[in-house]
Amino acid sequence: ETGVTQSPTHLIKTRGQQVTLRCSSQSGHNTVSWYQQALGQGPQFIFQYYREEENGRGNFPPRFSGLQFPNYSSELNVNALELDDSALYLCASSLGADFNSPLHFGNGTRLTVT
């Protein structure tokens, strides 16, 4: 069984730039969700994708967007980066779209915006 993998592990960007983070879901999982975790805080839900459609979104502005591909892998795109976007970005896969299934997290991408 292949777990959730994220790339890259670390990234440094400049304010105003755009970034794309990638996630491969665990085999057999059809749902991917993304979270932002600032230092010392709990993860904040960004959005969830099920069968290539967004089926849930947290309180993040439209410059946070995503995609899910037919193989259930996913991308998180952030435009017009701000300093406050510096955080650990976690991807999680699960089975089913009902938000009741356990989440399996990747190791995360640590984004630093300067």
Binding region for other proteins (CB under 8 A): 33, 35, 41-45, 48, 55-58, 90, 99-100, 102-108
Distances, alpha carbon 53 to alpha carbons 8, 22, 38, 78, in Å: 24, 16, 26, 18
Q: Which is nearer to other proteins, 29 or 104 (CB)?
A: 104
Q: Which is nearer to other proteins, 13 or 110 (CB)?
A: 110
Q: Which is nearer to other proteins, 33 or 85 (CB)?
A: 33
* Shortest Å, Cβ 79 to other proteins: 22
Q: Which is nearer to other proteins, 14 or 53 (CB)?
A: 53
* Shortest Å, Cβ 12 to other proteins: 18
3-state secondary structure of 20: strand
* Shortest Å, Cβ 91 to other proteins: 9
Give the residue from 48, 61, 63 showing the smallest Cα distance to 96: 48
What amino acid is encoded at 43 in this protein?
P
72 conformational bin, left if phi > 0, alpha if psi -120 to 50, beta if neither: left
